[in-house]
């Protein structure tokens, strides 16, 4: 992959800093003081951001600290971490390689980035946990939260499919655009092929995920309003009904 010139992008950080609050600018300036490599990634790097999008920046240095707000997501890694197999094989590292813009440093470690099987297994585990949570707490969720939950699962299914094909995961707006263009008629099993690759979790949990995918497709076609759905899925322990639902504790993103 051809890297974008560091010199050409030397003014990137100054431009993004203008979008931040004074507190966020202070955190960014502190990180830049200690950072050897600085890479902007995410929707703003790919120029698919909205006005509300945050600024995603990877800073590599010994004393750089993690920082996150509504406007700034500053990912911190030490030189040892960035050269390690865990980082080099991660979903984020592969995204940074494909979509990141180098604002400072040589970032030679990017030559060693290769997607690892562990990244795919991690995504599988997250998806299965999300599906379990959705059907455990379904009747306790406000319809809008159900939609948000389903959107999170849909995006994660898209990411799993891409990772399984050894393709870097794009920024979320590009995932959403792909979804709008790609979905048509057909069962969930055909489009969401990533589910068939999942090897972790119980059969009951994988079935929940598959039926979640079907629900996502039905909602996309506006044939089954989320608020009116009567959920009753079979599992290894019997039907999953509203009587067995608990208290909703939060939505992952």
* Residue extents of the structural domains in the chain: 12-112, 117-244
**Residue 2 above 70 pLDDT?**
no
pLDDT at residue 9 in the model: 63
pLDDT tens per residue across span 168-227:
999 999 998 888 776 554 444 445 566 777 878 888 888 888 888 878 877 766 644 444
pLDDT tens per residue across span 161-182:
899 889 999 999 999 888 877 6
Q: What share of the chain has pLDDT > 70, as a percent? A: 77
* CA within 13 Å, CB half, 196: 8
Rounded to two decimals, what is the model's pTM? Answer: 0.80
**Residue 20 above 80 pLDDT?**
yes
For helices 203-220 and 143-164, angle between their N-to-C axes, nearest 10 degrees: 110
Q: How confident is the model at residue 36 (pLDDT cuts 50, 70, 90)?
A: very high
12-112 maps to CATH 3.30.460: yes
Rounded to an integer, what distance in angstroms lies between the CA atom of residue 109 and that of residue 87? 10
Mean pLDDT of all residues in the chain? Answer: 80
Neighbouring-strand partners of residue 240? 233
């Amino acid at each position: 992959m051809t890297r974008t010139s560091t010199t050409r992008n030397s003014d990137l950080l100054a431009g993004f800093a203008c979008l931040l609050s004074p507190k966020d600018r202070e955190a960014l300036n502190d990180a830049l003081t200690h950072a050897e490599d600085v890479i902007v990634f995410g929707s703003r790097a790919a120029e698919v951001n909205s006005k509300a999008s945050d600024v995603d920046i990877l800073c590599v240095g010994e004393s750089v600290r993690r920082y996150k707000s509504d406007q700034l997501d500053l990912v911190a890694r030490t030189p040892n971490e960035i050269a390690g197999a865990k980082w080099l094989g991660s979903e984020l590292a592969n995204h940074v390689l494909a979509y990141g813009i180098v604002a400072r440093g040589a970032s030679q470690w990017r030559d060693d980035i290769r997607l690892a099987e562990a990244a795919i297994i991690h995504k599988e585990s997250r998806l299965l946990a999300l599906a379990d949570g959705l059907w455990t707490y379904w009747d306790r969720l406000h319809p809008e939260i159900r939609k948000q939950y389903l959107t999170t699962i849909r995006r994660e299914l898209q990411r799993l499919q891409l990772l399984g094909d050894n393709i870097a995961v794009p920024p979320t707006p590009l995932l959403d655009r792909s979804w709008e263009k790609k979905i048509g008629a057909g069962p969930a099993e055909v489009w969401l092929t990533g589910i068939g690759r999942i090897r972790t979790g119980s059969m009951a949990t994988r079935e929940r995920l598959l039926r979640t995918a079907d629900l996502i497709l039905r909602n996309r076609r506006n044939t089954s309003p989320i608020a009116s759905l009567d959920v009753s899925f079979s599992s290894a322990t019997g039907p999953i009904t509203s009587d067995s639902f608990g208290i909703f504790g939060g939505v992952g993103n």
